[in-house]
Structure 1
Amino acid sequence: MPTLIVKTNASIAPDTVEPMIKRVSARVAELLGKPERYVMVILEPTPTMCFGGDTSPLAFLELKSLGLPEDRTPELSAALCSLLQDTLGIAPDRVYIEFASPPRHLFGFDSRTF
């Protein structure tokens, strides 16, 4: 059930969106050691964003996963920032990431909870 939501004001060419989110999906599955068939990636182009008084490209990410290992968040942060820099050209110091590990009973899928 890993879910990555990417909100960004970076310009994204329409023909690059699908390959980019597929690359991100595969990388999230790899990083978390989870089957990609359960990974969801949501890209939310959000043109009106400001960080530190500056509107140059930035992103806010939310990574949620059952059993997200808290001791690995520095590694996950570095990997996700690197991925955004490679795919969208966003500098790591222009990215905030919120990590969350919801309780299994509070995450639903396929008409049931985990």
Structure 2
Amino acid sequence: MPYLNIQTNQTLSDDYREKLLVESSKLVAEGLGKSEEFMMVSIKDDTPMLFGGKSGPTAFLEIKSVGIPANKTKDICQQLCELVHSVASIPPERIYVKFNDVQRSMWGWKGDMFG
């Protein structure tokens, strides 16, 4: 049930978009200790964005999941920033990563709730 949304002001080629989708899906699922079978990833590129009042390369990543272990967030953040930097050439200091731990009763799938 983890969901990762990647938003950036960079325009990604189809190959880079696919690489980012595949590699971030595996990375987040493993980092959270969840099955990749339930992992969802979306990318919104070419989005008008500023960081620090400047329009240079930037990205905002948001992870939503039930049961995010606080002791795993730092490693996941570091690995995601390295991945985005290697694929999209966005410096890690221009990337925010937000973690949202969602209550089971607030996450639905197949017309029912997990809680």
| TM-score with structure 2 setting the length | 0.91
Report how far residue 15 of structure 1 moved: 3.5
What is aligned with 1:81?
A: 81
1:40 is matched with 40
How do 1:46-65 residues align onto structure 2 when only pairs under 5 Å count? 46-65=46-65
The one-letter amino acid of 1:56's match is G
State the SS of the aligned residue for 1:74.
helix
Structure 1 unaligned regions, length at least 5? none
Q: Percent identity?
A: 37
CA RMSD of aligned residues (A): 1.3
TM-score scaled by length of structure 1? 0.92
User: What are structure 2's unaligned runs of at least 5 residues?
Assistant: none
CA distance, structure 2, for counterparts of residue 17 and residue 77 of structure 1: 19
Alignment partner, residue 105 of structure 1: 105
- Cα distance in 2 for residues equivalent to 1:20 and 1:96: 16
> How far has the Cα of 1:46 moved from its partner?
4.0
The alignment covers a number of residue pairs equal to: 114
Q: Tell me which moved more, 11-20 or 69-78.
A: 11-20
Are 2:31 and 1:31 equivalent residues in the alignment?
yes
2:2 is equivalent to residue 2 of structure 1: yes
